[in-house]
Structure 1
Amino acid sequence: MESADAVKQHVYEQFIRFLHVYESFSDTEIDHFLSIAERERIENFPHNITAVHVIDCIGRHEPINSTAIAGKMELSKASITKIGGKLLADGLVERMQLNDNKKESYFRLTPQGKKIFDLHERIHANEAERLHRFLDKYSAVEMKIIGSFLKDYSAEMELRISGGTAKR
């Protein structure tokens, strides 16, 4: 039987391999989005998949503020503030205030942001179906462990990125 340290080392090695493969996949994925966006004449398409997912979150819940986006996406508010600023500068989202709350800013999609939202929704549905087929080979218990690992390690990585302000 393998020692716990040997199993941890194996997990680490597989995780590093996953990161390398995923980085290549992410480059391909964003290139795929960009090629479709270009074909459909969608301008200012973000070159960062997380920014596309922020657009998706805004499109599904608008009007929505940074705190709510961070909560729904399980990212830090600092990450959302940074991405939101870039999306504002690119003309993909706009800030607004609700009549009953002049203190707080909310995001909503511009017409250009809506085009990206619609494209993402189409492509995301195909990818979700593909992942669901892949996960069919795992039991419910195994998928729960996989989900727990991904959630916990994502929080750990975000904590490192944000310098200690990640949500736990």
Structure 2
Amino acid sequence: MNKEKQLLMNFNDVYNKIVMLNKPKMEESLKGHKPSEVHCIESIGKNGSANVTQLAESLYMTRGAISKLTKKLLEKGLIESYQKLDNKKEIYFRLTESGKEIFTIHEELHNEFRERDKVVFEQLTETQFDSMLGFLETYSRHLDEEIKKQDVPHH
């Protein structure tokens, strides 16, 4: 097997193991909330506010899917919509107190998982980190270009 194929298989394998390990605790702590809802809350929470277009781009979803998602979150009282004074046609979303609680639980779980796995990262040298980060940035840019070429509707 060539190294490229091996690398992609290993990435996939590691990702699947992370999901398998984290999923039960995430589901238990965030009961009643779908992963897409939690990711939307996370995106709004990290940015302070967001509109449909910004959410579609950051979550790699269509604007239609984001509209459905934000409607559910509004109904659950986890986000609220508002308009900025200088832009009356654009609707923005921010977290309610309940939404902030979900955001905090999610962040704490990620911190817990990082703590669990930091033993691996502590063994890496700066050079190894830089090399891997460089590769991931290059690969990500390539994928962005491919998305543009195919006009994949992610916003």
What TM-score, normalized to structure 2? 0.71
Q: Compute the displacement of 1:24 (Å).
A: 4.3
What TM-score, normalized to structure 1? 0.66
- Equivalent pair of 1:66/1:80 in contact (CA under 8 Å): no
Q: Which residue is 1:126 aligned to?
A: 112
CA distance in 1, matches of 2:80, 2:8: 38
- Equivalent pair of 1:97/1:106 in contact (CA under 8 Å): yes
Name structure 1 gaps, 5 residues minimum.
Answer: 1-5
1:31 paired with 2:13, answer no
Q: Compute the displacement of 1:160 (Å).
A: 5.1
Q: What letter is aligned with 2:137?
A: K
Give SS of 2:92's match.
Answer: strand
Quick check: 155-164 or 108-117, which moved more? 155-164
Q: What letter is aligned with 1:88?
A: T
Q: Which residue is 2:130 aligned to?
A: 144
Runs of 4+ deviating beyond 6 Å = none
- Equivalent pair of 1:87/1:93 in contact (CA under 8 Å): no
Which one has more relative contact order, counting CA pairs under 8 Å at least 6 apart?
2
1:87 paired with 2:80, answer no
Q: What letter is aligned with 2:95?
A: L
Q: Which residue is 2:92 aligned to?
A: 106
Percentage identity across paired residues of the two chains: 28
- Equivalent pair of 2:22/2:113 in contact (CA under 8 Å): no
2:9 aligned to which of 7, 16, 20: 16
Aligned length: 149
* Pairwise CA RMSD: 3.3
Q: What letter is aligned with 1:85?
A: S
Q: What letter is aligned with 1:107?
A: F
Q: Compute the displacement of 1:82 (Å).
A: 5.5
Name structure 2 gaps, 5 residues minimum.
Answer: none
Give SS of 1:90's match.
Answer: helix
Distance 1:80-1:144 versus aligned 2 partners, 3 A rule: farther
Q: Compute the displacement of 1:102 (Å).
A: 0.8
